[in-house]
Amino acid sequence: MAKIKKIIKTIKVDVALCNGCRACEMICSAFHAEPKYSSNNPERARIRVIRDPLRDVYLPVYAGEYAEAECMGREKYVLDGREYGECDFCRASCPSRDLFKEPDSGLPLKCDMCEDDPPQEEPLCVKWCINDALIYEEREEEVEEEVELEEMETALKVLLDKYGLQKLTDTVSRLSQKD
């Protein structure tokens, strides 16, 4: 199978440079408001800073995949003498906590790297972090090319699986006669 190039978007988080201001949360929620920047509320942000100033814990975390169930167990990390909580490094919107949930609907939030048309130079959280705790990087990776079905083919395959070939052809011919 052929190899193709894929862009991997990465935000490098340097916790030592975080000044704890939460501008990343604010601008994330503003960017994703409708219309853009018309409102802000960090509770809607797809990045949150886990903060515990007196213990010098500052950890920006991005919203990742939704998890239906919480983990079976938990772990704690001690790094440079600082203890990080059980779920601090986890990106999931999950039943165990109130993080990364749209406050009105409770629906999960997920970082989309500020995909936009025309594209932004970098995610907004990175742009607003002028202390460089957040750095945007892109790298190319070679991945196996997957044989991708065309959109219509995918849709027909679903119908085929559900109703069988006979029903599907009958329906198509009936629809074509109507015109």
Partner 1 sequence: MRYSEAGYNLEIDLSTGNIERVETDPVWTELYLGGLGTNAKILWDRVPPETEPFSPDNLLIFSTGLLCSTPAPGANRTMVTTLSPQTQLMAYSMMGGFFAPELKYAGYDKLIIRGKSPSLVYLWIHNDKVEIRDASHLRGKGAVETQEIIKQELKEPKAHVAAIGLAGENRVFFASIEQGRSSASRQGIGAVMGDKGLKAIAVRGTKYDINIVRPAEYIGLCEDVMKYIQHRQANPIPGVMPILSILGSPQEMLHVDEKWHTENFMWGNSRVRKKDFWNKEIEEKWKETQENVRTRLISCYNCPIKCGATISIPGIANYMMKCFSKLTYTMAAFSDLDFGFRIAQRATEYGVDGFSCPQVMAFAVELKEAGILTDKDFEGCPSDNDGRFFWLLDRIVRREGIGDILADGTYWAAQKIGNGAEEYAHNNIKKHEQLPLKLGMLNPIYFLMYATNEKINITQIEGQFPQAPFATMEEKEEFVKDWVQVPDEKFKEYFLKWEFRGEYSMPFYPGVEACCEIVDWMERMHYVDDSLGMCAGLSSFPLKPPYHIHNYPKFISAAAGIDMDADGLTQIAKRNRNLVRANNIRRGMRRADENPPQNHWKKRFPELEEALLDGYYKFKGWNRDGIPTKESLQELNLAYVAEDFIQRGILKNGQD
Examine residue 43 and tell whether it contacts partner 1 (CB under 8 A): yes
Distance CA 115, CA 123 (A): 8
CA distances from 149 to 2, 83, 145, 146 (A): 16, 47, 12, 9
Applying CB under 8 A, which part among 45-53, 89-97, 134-142, 171-179 lies near partner 1?
45-53
Examine residue 70 and tell whether it contacts partner 1 (CB under 8 A): no
Examine residue 55 and tell whether it contacts partner 1 (CB under 8 A): yes
Q: Give the chain's length.
A: 179
Q: For partner 1, give the closer residue by CB, 1 or 119.
A: 119
Examine residue 39 and tell whether it contacts partner 1 (CB under 8 A): yes
Residue among 35, 73, 118, 119 that touches partner 1 (CB under 8 A): 35
Smallest distance, partner 1 to C-beta of residue 59, A: 12
Sequence-ordered list of residues with C-beta below 8 angstroms from that of 154, at least 6 positions apart, any chain = none
Residue among 131, 154, 169, 171 that touches partner 1 (CB under 8 A): 131
35 prior amide bond cis, ω within 30: yes
Examine residue 61 and tell whether it contacts partner 1 (CB under 8 A): no
Residue among 107, 130, 143, 159 that touches partner 1 (CB under 8 A): 130
Residue among 6, 8, 12, 41 that touches partner 1 (CB under 8 A): 41
Q: Which residue has the tokens 């079905």?
A: 149
Q: Which long-range contacts (CB under 8 A, 24 or more apart) does 117-126 make?
A: 123/11, 124/27, 124/28, 124/30, 124/31, 125/11, 125/23, 125/24, 125/25, 125/27, 125/28, 125/47, 125/60, 126/11
Smallest distance, partner 1 to C-beta of residue 113, A: 19
Q: For partner 1, give the closer residue by CB, 104 or 146.
A: 104
CA distances from 10 to 18, 102, 111 (A): 17, 24, 11
Q: Tell me the site size for partner 1, rule CB under 8 A.
A: 31
Binding site for partner 1 (CB under 8 A): 19-23, 26-27, 30, 33, 35-44, 51-56, 58, 103, 128-131
